[in-house]
Amino acid sequence: MNIQQFYEFCLSKKGVTEHFPFDEDTLVFKVGGKMFCLTSLKEWEKGTPSLNLKCDPERALELRAQYGAINPGYHMSKTHWNTVDFNSDVSHKIMCELIIDSYDLIFKSLNKKIQTEILELEN
């Protein structure tokens, strides 16, 4: 997956917006105003991209034990976030599943009114 594919994949989810709230380097994807994915554009340019993704705490531990490229979230809550390195032992399919899982966790945490507004988008 290249950066364009990654970008389009994240934006293909309902209600997703992109932001640069921290600096000009850190691309953040949000749903309902809450972050579900962060990445450094400079790292993509250097060929060493990674993503910070929200994860269920128990699954986060399992994934870290299973994959060398999945570590506690860099500059994030180590319990709820993982940093996942691209170009590693994590397949394209698993990477997509992890992005979807992160999106779903955040979406489910939104109040019902916001969830409904997002679900009604593009219908």
- Could you tell me the residue ranges of all domains in the chain? 3-114
Specify the pLDDT at position 78.
Answer: 86
Could you give the maximum distance between any two Cα atoms of the chain, in Å?
A: 41
CATH number belonging to domain 3-114: 3.90.1150.30
The mean predicted confidence, pLDDT, of the chain is 95
Q: Which pLDDT tens digit goes with each residue over 5-47?
A: 999 999 999 999 999 999 999 999 999 999 999 999 999 999 9
pTM of the predicted model as reported, rounded to 2 decimal places = 0.93
pLDDT band of 87, cuts 50, 70, 90 = confident
Average pLDDT (86-93) is: 89
> What does the alpha-carbon distance between residue 39 and residue 84 come to, in Å, rounded to a whole number?
10
Whole-number Å distance between alpha carbons of 51 and 83: 5
Q: What is the pLDDT of residue 123?
A: 52
Provide the pLDDT confidence category of residue 122 given band limits of 50, 70 and 90: low
The percent of the chain in helix, strand and coil, each rounded to the nearest 5, is 40, 25, 35
Q: Do β-strands 81-85 and 70-72 pair in parallel, antiparallel, or remain unpaired?
A: antiparallel
